[in-house]
Amino acid sequence: MKKVLSIIISVFMIAAMFAGCGSKGGTTFTAVGVQNTKNSSSINCNGALSNELSEAFKKTGNTLTVVEIDGDPYPVGNNIVAEYDAGSSSDNKASRNKMYTQMAVKTVNDEAIPKTPEIDMLKALTVLSRSVNALADGTDNAEKNIVLCANLLSTTGKINFVDSTLYFDTENYIEYLGKELPDMNDISVTWIVTGTEGDEQENLNNSDISKLEDFYRTLIEKAGGNVKFIEENNGGEIDKSGWPDVSAVDVRKDSYKGSKNLDVTLDDTTLFKSDSTEWLNEEKATAKLESLVDVINDSECNIVIAGSTAATDSSEEQHVTFSKKRADTVMDKLISLGADASKLKAVGIGKSYSRYRVKDTGEFNTEENHKQNRVVFIVSEDTDKAQYFLEVAEKFPNINKDMAHISFTNVCRIYANSPKK
């Protein structure tokens, strides 16, 4: 349980940071959500936040509550209220800071243990929001914060990536959730993203994390709040014997039977040899693309196939041309497998677009980052992502010709990969 202690000490300090830094004079109320589950790694919260954490717990009256995030998230222990005597010395304040931290650690050690299988992230956000709203009720100029120490997966409830996969249109999903969104008006969220863990749960890559962060950002803003994400290195191991099971989420790209809306990213393990349009493993690529054919043919949407490249010293036009050739290769393979050619449009977007890619130049010039950008996207036309790719492609009309092939009709705004109503 040492890592549990580390998580809560750091998270409690983060909560206090909100109290001591940037305050407008009102009392700060913080709800801390800690995901101690079988599929979540522990996290070291002291890295990028260490300077801010040193300023924690400077203000009297700040109140903190802790919530365990599992399949039925629940508050644990008693609220902790920071109190400092007027004129206290720095040593006295430091001593009391330590005391409050130890109180939070004891709460988590004794009670913040998962009881219910799975992870219900929407319910977690609801419980956390209700907790902080209740704490702040009746207080003038109250500042309301949520600190999450959790990975981005949800395996039960209205947000269920086990049933729906990760490949959904965010706008559709948020619309589907509708009145289920929590009341997060004027709540600031800091989400410390942990890694995934477990024999059956495959790790999220950078594209997966970016997609899920965009989803939760949209959800929280729609609910009236704001959020920032902090990614930290994972901590050590925790003894999870006896903890409830959590279903694995298929984070890879071949679970689309029955779907009618596509958002697929084919990475370099599936695609091409380096600096080539020759398949790295044509049998594997064929199997993956074949799983999309029925989805494409059954969909009311056209499909955008957008090729992306890692950054090199070549010109932007060369990058776009090469990425277009790779997109054409994917499109030709889909057509050969039976996909309706009239629904497909291949474009090259090269290396210059900023959304949906990771930094891979300068200090970020690593092969791992290059791999994250050496991809082909396959997305339904009526999504923000597809429209963005087409906007980028239109900047290179001599390479991406016949852009009028796709028109945005709004007919394919369906809840295919959202849970059924």
pLDDT, tens digit, 9 for 90 and up, residues 338-360: 999 999 999 999 887 666 777 77
Is residue 249 domain-resident?
no
* Least reliable range by pLDDT among 192-206, 251-265, 367-381: 251-265
Cα–Cα distance list, 257 to 163, 164, 189, 338 (Å): 12, 11, 35, 15
* Judgement on whether residues 280 and 340 belong to the same structural domain of the protein: yes
50-to-31, 85, 228 alpha-carbon distances in Å: 20, 26, 17
Number of other residues whose CB lies within 10 A of the CB of residue 72: 18
pLDDT band at residue 224, thresholds of 50, 70 and 90?
A: very high
Q: Which of 231, 251, 272 is the last residue of a domain?
A: 231
User: How is residue 395 written in tokens?
Assistant: 């900047």
> Does the residue 241 lie in any domain?
no
- Using an 8 Å Cβ cutoff, are 99 and 53 in contact? no
Q: Please count the structural domains in the chain.
A: 2
- Do residues 14 and 190 touch, judged by C-beta distance below 8 A? yes
Query: Percent of the chain having pLDDT more than 90?
Result: 26
Q: Does residue 255 belong to any structural domain of this protein?
A: no
Comparing 10-24, 207-221, 267-281, the range with the smallest average pLDDT is 10-24
> Do 162 and 279 belong to one domain?
no
Does the model's pTM come out above 0.85?
Answer: no
Tell me the percentage of the chain whose pLDDT exceeds 70. Answer: 77
How would residue 315 be classed by pLDDT, with cut points 50, 70 and 90?
A: confident
273 and 396 belong to one structural domain: yes
Q: Residue 325: inside a domain, yes or no?
A: yes
Pair (47, 192) in one structural domain: yes
Q: Would the pLDDT of 288 be above 60? A: yes
214 and 270 in a common domain: no
Average pLDDT over residues 260-281: 77
Is residue 165's pLDDT more than 70?
no
Residues with Cβ within 8 Å of 14's Cβ and at least 6 positions away in sequence, in order, are 32, 45, 49, 52, 53, 56, 147, 190, 192
Same domain as 77, residue 190: yes
* Domain finish residue from 190, 216, 231: 231
End-to-end CA distance of the chain: 41
Q: What residues make up the domain containing 58? A: 2-231
